[in-house]
Structure 1
C-alpha cells in the first residue's frame, strides 16, 4: 500500500496487523481519485472508517487543505498517526478514535469531500450515508466504497447518486447535489 501521487508520492504506508482492516486496493483508490481529481486541491476532507488513513493521506498528498480521520479502533488510529508522521502530513490533520455515527451526530464541520470505506459486511450503512451527506458542503462530493453486491440509496437528502463504478468485488458510489441545469 503506497501513496500514488502528490507530495508523499511513492511512500509506503503501514497497516494494522490481522484481518480487521481491509485497505482499499491501489486500483480502486486510483479510480476514486480520478473521479474527484479536480475537487481535491484545498479541500476539507473527511475520511470515515479510515483504517490505515490511506484515502485521507492520498487527498492531503494531492493538495487537500485538511483531513479529519475517523476510526473506532485505537490500533488503527495509532497506525494513521504513524502514517501521517511518515508522510509529513500530520499538521494538516486530526485523528479521532470514535465510531462514525457518533462522530457524524456531533460534528458541526462541513466538508468538501467525504471518503468512506466501511466494512463490507456493515449493517446500518444507509444511516451513516445519510448522516454523512448532512456534513457535506452544497458543492461537496461523497464517495463510498462497498462490496459490489451492496445496494446504496439513490438519494441522500439533497444529494443524488450520480454513478456507481465497479472494480472486481468493490464498487464506488458517488453522490453530488444536482445542478440546476440537470
Structure 2
C-alpha cells in the first residue's frame, strides 16, 4: 500500500498484520482520486473508519489542508499515527479514538465542517446507513461537499440515502462499490 501521488508520492505505508483492517486497494484508490480530482486541494477531509489512514493521507498528499482521522480501534489508530509520522503530516492531521457515530456528533458540536468525508467501514454491517442518518442530525458535510462511501456490492445503501442527499455517481470494482453522495440542491 502506497501513496500514489503528491507530496508523499511513492511512500509505502505501514499495513495491518491481520485482517481486522481492509485497506482500500491501490487501483480503487487511484480511481477514487481521479474522480475527486482537484476538489481535494485546500479541502478539510474526514476519514471515518480510518484503519491505516490510507485515504486521508492520500488526500493530504494531494493537497488537502486538514485531515481528521476517526477510528474506534487502538490498533488501527497506532497504525494511522505511524503513517502520519512517516508522511511528516503531523501539522495537518488529527486523530480521534471514538465510535464513528459519536465522532460525527462531537465534531459537529465543535463546529467542524468537511468538504470531503470518507466512510469506509467493515462491509455489510449497516454502518454507512447509520452514518448517513447521523449526518442528517449533525450536518458535517459542507455545502458542495462530497461523501464517498466504500461498501460491498451486497450492501444496498440506495434506500438509506436520507432526504437532502443524493447519490450522483457509483463505481463498482469487483465486490467493492464507491458511492459518491452530495447534499441535493
Query: TM-score when scaled to structure 1?
Result: 0.93
- Which of 114, 118, 121 pairs up with 2:117? 114
CA distance in 1: counterparts of 2:69 and 2:78, whole angstroms: 11
Inter-partner Cα distance in structure 2 for 1:18 and 1:61: 26
Q: 1:128 corresponds to which residue?
A: 131
Query: What residue in structure 1 maps to residue 67 of structure 2?
Result: 67
Offset from partner CA, 1:29-63 (integer Å, 9 cap, x none) = 11111111121000000000000000000000000
- Which one of 137, 143, 150 corresponds to residue 145 of structure 1? 150
Following superposition, which runs of at least 4 residues in structure 1 exceed 4 angstroms of deviation?
A: none
Instruction: Trace 1:80-119 onto structure 2 (pairs within 5 A).
Output: 80-108=80-108, 109-119=112-122
Tell me if the contact between 2:119 and 2:128 (Cα under 8 Å) persists in the aligned partners.
no
Alignment correspondent of 1:2:
2
Deviation at 1:26, TM superposition (A): 0.5
2:39 match: secondary structure? coil
Q: How does 1:149-164 map to 2 (within 5 A)?
A: 149-153=154-158, 155-164=161-170
| Match among 162, 178, 181 for residue 184 of structure 2 | 178
Distance in 2, Cα, partners of 1:15 & 1:120 = 19
Q: Secondary structure at the match of 1:94?
A: strand
Could you report, residue by residue, the CA deviation over 1:38-96 in whole angstroms, capped at 9, with x for unpaired residues?
A: 21000000000000000000000000000000010011111101101111111100001
What secondary structure is seen at the aligned counterpart in 2 of 1:138?
strand
Unaligned runs of 5+ in 2: none
- Tell me how many residue pairs correspond in the alignment: 179
Deviates more, 1:143-152 or 1:57-66: 143-152
Consecutive unaligned residues of structure 1, counting only runs of 5 or more, are none
Return closer, same or farther for 1:177/1:121 CA change in 2, 3 Å cut-off.
Answer: closer
When you count helix as a share of all residues, which structure comes out higher?
Answer: 2
